[in-house]
Amino acid sequence: MKKDFLSEQTVQVCRTKLLTFKSNILNQMKTMAADFNLVDKSRGDESDLSAAHQEEHNFLIAQTRMKTQLLEIEMALGRIESGNYGICEETDELIETERLLAIPWTRLSIEGAEIRESQTKKAGKGYLAF
């Protein structure tokens, strides 16, 4: 592993961003749930029921995406607490500061993301990617 470290200022900026994203997502989830619960899904003709079903489907997809994002944020906050924040899972090198500031929950450097993508493409073509 590389001996470089992120500055404490960068870590604090990323922590603040992560907590802000977390709060925004939780508020958005709460608002979406309240709005969804206002919709009467038991009445109407076939068209109304179909629209309600589609709305439920969209709601569940959005909730799943937000829960996944929350998990990534929580894992990033855990890495900050454990002192492992900013280390690429793929290369064990320091993740670029600009990348962390843009995507504070990222687990991969640019190089690590390229390696992962390459492995995924190979796996998709029937090759084993280790």
pLDDT per residue rounded down to tens, the chain (130 residues) = 444 678 999 999 999 999 999 999 999 999 999 888 776 666 677 887 888 888 889 999 999 999 999 999 999 999 999 999 999 999 999 999 999 999 999 999 999 999 999 988 887 765 554 4
CA distances from 56 to 40, 66, 128 (A): 11, 15, 37
In a domain, 3, yes or no: no
Q: What is the pTM of this model?
A: 0.79
Those residues with Cβ within 8 angstroms of residue 41's Cβ, 6 or more apart along the chain or in another chain: 49, 52, 53, 56
In a domain, 118, yes or no: yes
User: Domain holding 41: CATH number?
Assistant: 1.20.120.910
At residue 126, the 3 state secondary structure works out as coil
The token pair at 100 is 């962390």
The predicted pLDDT at position 126 comes to 58
In a domain, 62, yes or no: yes
In a domain, 33, yes or no: yes
Range of the domain at 28: 8-124
In a domain, 1, yes or no: no
Domain tally for the chain?
Answer: 1
In a domain, 101, yes or no: yes
In a domain, 40, yes or no: yes
In a domain, 67, yes or no: yes
